[in-house]
Amino acid sequence: MAENGNILEAIHVRKEFGGLIAVNDVDFAIPRGTIVSLIGPNGAGKTTFFNILTGVYRPTAGGVLFESTPISGLPPHKVTALGMARTFQNIRLFHNMTARENVMVAMHSRIKGGIWRSIFRTPALKREEAEAVARARELLEFSGLRKKDHDFAKNLSYGDQRRLEVARALATEPKLLLLDEPTAGMNPEETANFTTFVAKLREEQKITVLLIEHDMRVVMGISDRVTVLDYGEKIAEGAPKEIQHDERVIEAYLGSGATG
Amino acid sequence: MRNHVGQEAPPKRPARKRLPTSDWSASWRRFRRRHPRARWILPAFALLLAFSYPWWGLEGPLSAIFNDGLGIDSDTLFNISIYVMLALGLNVVVGYAGLLDLGYVAFFALGAYTLGWFGSGLFAQRDIHFLDTSPARLPGIHLSFWVVVILAGVICAIAGVIIGWPTLRLRGDYLAIVTLGFGEIIPDIFRNGDDIHGFNLTNGVRGVTLMDRPGFGVAVHNATGGVLPDRYNSLELRPWYFTVLVMMAIIIFVNLRLRDSKMGRAWIAVREDEVAASAMGVPLMRTKLWAYAIGAIFGGFAGAIYGSFINGIFPTSFSFQISVIVLVMVIVGGMGNIWGVIAGATLISWLNFTGLDKIGNWINSGIPGSGNDIVIAKYKFGIFGALLVLMMLFRPEGLIPSARRKAEFAEGEGPSEYLYDVGVDEARA
């Protein structure tokens, strides 16, 4: 399936909570190297779908393939090791760790460590740690957090915390980055900066991005494809231009009266 | 590379207040960052003081203050150092990984009973000797004490993993309750283990007595000119104390190395936010099990040498009180900071063993009209309780907190609580 260039595929995904159908039979694919956005009104099932994609929830029916590997039901750290990283809608940094430590935690699946090697601090381990520190500094700088290495995460400004979340996700060396409402709470200027940053991610780091976003300027500005969910169902999919003029989408967002 | 993100954007929101750090501690931190080796100066000095205590504290002019006045005699000294070991072990579990363990005494007991199994006459029908220093005709299994210490560590680690496997899935309060249960179950097994289908595993309430003692054997004794004793005895307590100090030094070393490793970072991340840690690639179960196992190993070490020192182990010696008091040491000292934990353990165990008696004596003799009838030690746990309450009110981060803990309690603005969990179903509202 991956031969067609999709890094992630969700096939007939369905999720029920008790009697409630949160996601209903959604087919979804993310082509490699693109920025795909997932939008929909509040309560459309976006975050549930997101959690299914990241393996947090096991779908009631259907499955998710990441580079042809089924990931439903895998523990989150294994999904991360495969090359998929996420940020959180409500910032979930390690608040009492420094920015650098936050980034280094995320390298967990990429460095060897080892209890004995750590206790005796072998030359190989020292080298590995030094490389990790250097890479952390690089990532922080790339994310616009230069000289914030030793600041506790909770002492960073809101925008910096958002950036640190991305830097941390990048430290897992993802092929696919999932951003859950990254610009929530940002002012227009920060939002614009962030949008350029995401575009740069794709160009410079060759990372595929899935974006859940409310801000339509962000979505329409950088997405290659947009998927719209409403009441747990996929109601539209396509290029931003098409989505903007799709009647079902307008109806979902503005109510049926708006189309008349 | 020019960072273009937010470079020229002035902060729109009021920036979060910086932590109030005094100039002194800031410059000390800067000094340490610049001279990485300098951070060993203070610990080395403290260790030197501890090692030389028998010469300046038990004897000499200062002994009037330390030995007689404060009551830190050689027995107390040994007991204090045992508790420091325990507190350092629990610190890995509680301080680093944030797993509240109310049953830590189980590993202390298991370590002591390991010595009972492999270094006493408990299994009298066997006759196995291996590099031991006990008289050759003694029946029972007698392995070298040093082998037994390692065995105690291994057995405790395995027990830690077995106990941890089903329990570590739980969070916070639930985990605490389950560990409390295990802390009760294990001494109970020892209490009733004298007839397991006819097999006497633990000798029940009568306990195990006549334990093997550490020693280096006659050959080493002679080769070192008598510096290393061939067999420790109950009259000369210095070798015991030095042995515990060496063990403690090893534990401190391992503690520090692990804290600054990939595992240490993962522990703290798990403590901070499990969901985020796991999303960043940290395997929760394995990380927690490691913390639990390493804490258990240290508890096992302490148990083995303690059992040998008191020359007898009884199920009643390993009460819930020990779990609590070790936890109090970690909290009062400063969770997650080795030096704080050592200070807390020293202070509390001193109070526990002789300090409160001494303080009672001072009060009785020093305050006119108080008579001689105040026995402060009777109110021991009341006093510890009050101490804990006062600490939580006025210095919740502990006596010597880590920079991280300090930050945690300097809170107020950092988002410490999440409104909801990813785990919480966010179906359509």
Reported as type and span, the H/E element at residue B130 is strand B127-130
Instruction: Flag whether A180 is in a domain.
Output: no
**A88 in a structural domain:** no
Q: Do A66 and A3 reside in the same domain of the chain?
A: yes
Exposure of B183 by Cβ count < 10 A (0-12 exposed, 13-18 middle, 19+ buried)?
Answer: buried
Domain edge (last residue) among A175, A192, A213: A175
pLDDT value of residue A252: 82
**Same domain (yes/no): A49, A101:** no
Distance of CA B382 to the CA centre of its chain: 22
Q: What is the pLDDT of residue A249?
A: 85
Q: Across residues B155-172, what is the average pLDDT?
A: 87
Q: Quick check: B408 contacting A, CB < 8 Å?
A: yes
Instruction: Report pLDDT for B416.
Output: 40
Domain span at A112: 94-175
Residue B222: count of CB within 10 angstroms of its CB: 11
User: For residue A191, is it within any domain?
Assistant: no
Comparing B36 with B252, the larger pLDDT belongs to: B252
Whether residues A1 and A70 fall in one domain: yes
Whether A168 is covered by a domain: the verdict is yes
Please tell me the distance in Å from A246's CA to the nearest CA on chain B: 23
Residue B68, helix vs strand vs coil: helix
**Position A209 in a domain:** no
Beta-carbon count within 10 A of A116 CB: 8
Whether residue B3 and residue A144 make contact (CB cut-off 8 A), yes or no, is yes
The predicted pLDDT at position A140 comes to 95
Tell how far CA B136 is from the center of its chain: 35
The Cβ of residue A45 has, within 10 Å, a number of other Cβ atoms equal to 26
Backbone φ and ψ for B370, nearest 5 degrees, come out as -80, -10
Q: How confident is the model at residue B368 (pLDDT cuts 50, 70, 90)?
A: low
Chain B residues 197-256 within an 8 A CB cutoff of chain A: 253-254
pTM (two decimals)? 0.86
* Chains A, B: CB pairs < 8 Å: 182
CATH code for the domain of A153: 3.40.50.300
| Domain assignment present for A224 | no
Partner-chain residue, chosen from B263, B272, B423, that has the shortest CB–CB distance to A118: B263
Residue B263 has pLDDT above 90, yes or no: yes
Same domain for A102 and A42: no
pLDDT at residue number A5: 84
CA separation for the pair B411, B20 (Å, rounded): 11
Residue B171 distance to chain A (closest CA, Å): 17
Total number of domains constituting chain A: 2
pLDDT of residue B411: 52
Partners of A23 in the beta sheet?
A15
Tell me if chain B has a CB within 8 Å of the CB of A172: yes
Average pLDDT over residues B376-391: 86
Q: Which residue of B has its CA nearest to A170?
A: B280
A57 and A1 belong to one structural domain:
yes
Q: Do A109 and B429 touch (CB under 8 A)?
A: no
In this structure, the answer to whether residues A46 and A12 fall within a common structural domain is yes
A57 within some domain: yes
Whether residues A39 and A1 fall in one domain: yes
Residue where a domain stops, chosen among A154, A175, A196: A175
Residue A70 domain flag: yes
SS3 B258: helix
A211 three-class SS: strand
A106 and A167 belong to one structural domain:
yes
Judged by CB atoms closer than 8 Å, whether chains meet at A96 and B275 is answered as no
Residues A67 and A98 in one domain: no
- Residues of chain A with confidence (pLDDT) below 70: 1-4, 256-260
B272 touches A: beta carbon within 8 Å? yes
Average pLDDT estimate for B130-154: 87
Query: Rounded mean pLDDT of chain B?
Result: 84
CB contact under 8 A, A88 and B276: yes
- Whether A154 and A108 share a structural domain: yes
The number of beta carbons lying within 10 Å of the beta carbon of residue B13 is 11
| pLDDT at B361 > cutoff 70 | yes
Q: Show the beta-strand stretches assigned E in chain A.
A: 6-17, 20-31, 35-39, 61-66, 69-70, 84-86, 176-180, 208-212, 225-230, 233-238
Per CB-CB distance under 8 Å, the chain B contacts of A193 are 4-6, 9
Is the pLDDT higher at B394 or at B302?
Answer: B302
Domain closes at, from A175, A196, A217: A175
Contacts of residue A83, defined as CB under 8 A and 6 or more positions apart, other chains included, come to A66, A67, A173, A174, A175, A176
Please name the residue of chain B whose CA is at the shortest distance from the CA of residue A55.
B279
The predicted-structure confidence for B332-353, as pLDDT tens digits, reads as follows 998 888 999 999 999 999 999 9
pLDDT at residue A216, rounded to an integer: 86
Length of chain B, in residues: 429
Q: Report residue B331: phi and psi, to 5°.
A: -70, -45
Closest-CA distance, B286 to chain A, in angstroms, reads 11
How far is it, in rounded angstroms, from Cα A214 to Cα A250?
14
Q: What is the value of ipTM here, to two decimals?
A: 0.90
- Asked whether the beta carbons of residue A154 and residue B18 sit closer than 8 angstroms, the reply is no
Distance CA B295, CA B102 (A): 13
Judged by CB atoms within 8 Å, which residues 57-76 of A form the interface with B?
75-76
Q: Tens of pLDDT along A209-222?
A: 999 988 888 898 89
Q: Are residues A60 and A121 in the same domain?
A: no
Give the Cα separation of B399 and B390 in Å (integer).
12
Name the pLDDT band for B318 (thresholds 50, 70, 90): very high
